[in-house]
Structure 1
């Protein structure tokens, strides 16, 4: 099952990148934004509970889905491209086995412990 989920998320990342490309997205924009969600890890400076909350807030598909809806209503390509980069980031994280964080430790995720054998 783990391999199937990883492949599924890798497919989502590829589709997000393909749509981004089809929309004429700037690869400079992509490079600038692709790691932006990981800035939420600074929440761990306030402890694991705050860190997990901050990390999870920007590592679910809720945010980019809402942003994509706003982009669609506003007919804004740039906002849609930002949403696609965000989806790409989340999908790559999941494909690599990084899940939503539990409040116990950064390594504890809904997909299991990071670094397990």
Structure 2
């Protein structure tokens, strides 16, 4: 039951970010190009699992992506807003599909499930 709520929450975040993105009339090509870019953080796993989990989690928490959106509002920066919205949409998409924050024990061990 709780897992379903987290998946629904991810869907709602994804849909909300897509809606807000559309209000700004930003390029959908850029959205499609960058939607998976936070997953580049997985490359940190080539160092070791502890570092990989920390870097991956940094790029997959709402705290940093929403900070980017707030920074965009403060700076009146369309580029920062675009990045923040896409980044937050990515995290929502991950949560929708069951990908969560990583434990340092294993790449497949997440706060939502074992992938």
Fold similarity call, TM over 0.5: yes
CA shift, 1:112, in A, is 2.3
Tell me the number of residue pairs that the alignment of Structure 1 and Structure 2 aligns. Answer: 114
Cα RMSD, aligned residues only: 1.0
TM-score (norm 2): 0.94
SS of aligned partner of 2:98: coil
Could you report, residue by residue, the CA deviation over 1:40-85 in whole angstroms, capped at 9, with x for unpaired residues?
Answer: 0001111111110110010001111111111101112231121000
Q: 1:39 matched to which residue of 2? A: 40
Could you report, residue by residue, the CA deviation over 1:23-43 in whole angstroms, capped at 9, with x for unpaired residues?
Answer: 101012112211110000001
Moved over 3 A (4+): none
* Structure-2 separation of matches of 1:78 and 1:41: 24
Q: 1:13 matched to which residue of 2? A: 14
* Structure-2 separation of matches of 1:110 and 1:74: 34
